[in-house]
């Protein structure tokens, strides 16, 4: 059973993790973010195979990267996620939109995007309209989890069991129906275009982090259903 402090720490750490992953997948990384990643202490045995594989690939990238990492990773981001400079007429591309991977027609702005928009509205989350991107972009789906974990921390702090339980259930639903349902395929396609280990590694990290987060959310839900909110 998680203590009140452990519960707060989990939601706050989850928000930080998802925020950073959202930044990784939204656009090319700046020097500061790259240096932060390069200095990272990546564990080798997390208990999750996807996390372990992802950290191994990220470590490999930084061990053999060129001095100008920003340019190298910017070109790689464009190649992998924007299909820049690659022939894609008859091949699935790794554009990071859920509709492209889950819809029958494999096009943007499909049913997945509509469902995501509805869920965002129900939970009071809004994508910045100035960004001019569909709401089912991987970065926005992760940013939604940032918002939900920040709200969960607030409900946990207030010891509002009913609102906290609703939040946890919504997070679990979203992770399973709108993230883990397509990230594995996105990763497989990204691997076809990637020339470096970095982005396939980060997609593995995202998958592993979501799997671990989902497991912990289930434990929290069981705790909430079996006892009062952590004391």
**Length of the chain, please?**
231
Query: What percentage of residues in the chain have a pLDDT greater than 90?
Result: 85
Mean pLDDT in residue range 148-157: 98
Render pLDDT for 21-38 as a digit per residue (tens, 0 to 9): 999 999 999 999 999 999
Distance in angstroms between the alpha carbons of the first and the last residue of the chain? 10
Q: Which domain holds residue 112?
A: 4-226
CATH of the domain at 54: 1.10.3480.10
The verdict on residue 222 lying in a domain is yes
Q: How far apart are CA 14 and CA 174, in angstroms?
A: 15
User: Two tokens at 176?
Assistant: 């399973």
Mean pLDDT in residue range 85-99: 78
Q: Is the pLDDT of residue 228 over 50?
A: no
Mean pLDDT in residue range 128-139: 94
Whether the model pTM is above 0.75: yes
What sign does the dihedral 39-40-41-42 (CA atoms) show?
Answer: negative
**What rounded mean pLDDT belongs to the chain?**
93
**What pLDDT was estimated at residue 84?**
75
Any residues with CB less than 8 A from the CB of 43 and at least 6 apart, and which?
52, 55
The verdict on residue 194 lying in a domain is yes
Render pLDDT for 165-220 as a digit per residue (tens, 0 to 9): 999 999 999 999 999 999 999 999 999 999 999 999 999 999 999 999 999 999 99
For residue 148, give the nearest of 176, 115, 119 by alpha carbon.
Answer: 119
The verdict on residue 187 lying in a domain is yes
Q: How many domains does the chain have?
A: 1
Q: How confident is the model at residue 62 (pLDDT cuts 50, 70, 90)?
A: very high
The verdict on residue 231 lying in a domain is no
Q: How far apart are CA 120 and CA 102, in angstroms?
A: 18
The verdict on residue 70 lying in a domain is yes
């Amino acid at each position: 059973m998680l203590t009140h402090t452990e519960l707060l720490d989990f939601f706050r750490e989850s928000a930080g993790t998802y925020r950073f992953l959202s930044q990784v997948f939204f656009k090319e990384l700046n020097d500061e973010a790259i240096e932060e990643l390069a200095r990272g202490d990546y564990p080798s045995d997390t208990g999750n195979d996807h996390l372990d594989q992802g950290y191994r690939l990220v470590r490999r990238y930084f061990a053999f990267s060129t001095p100008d990492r920003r340019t190298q990773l910017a070109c790689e981001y464009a190649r992998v996620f924007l299909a820049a400079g690659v022939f894609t007429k008859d091949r699935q591309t790794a554009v990071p939109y859920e509709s492209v991977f889950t819809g029958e027609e494999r096009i943007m702005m499909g049913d997945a995007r509509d469902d995501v928009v509805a869920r965002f509205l129900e939970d009071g989350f809004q994508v910045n309209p100035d960004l001019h991107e569909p709401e089912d972009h991987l970065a926005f789906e992760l940013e939604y989890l940032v918002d939900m974990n920040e709200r969960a921390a607030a409900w946990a702090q207030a010891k509002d069991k009913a609102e906290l339980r609703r939040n946890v259930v919504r997070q679990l639903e979203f992770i399973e129906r709108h993230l883990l349902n397509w990230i594995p395929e996105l990763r497989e396609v990204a691997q076809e275009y990637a020339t470096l280990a970095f982005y396939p590694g980060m997609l593995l990290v995202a998958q592993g982090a979501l799997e671990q987060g989902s497991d912990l959310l289930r434990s929290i839900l069981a705790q909430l259903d079996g006892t009062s909110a952590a004391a």
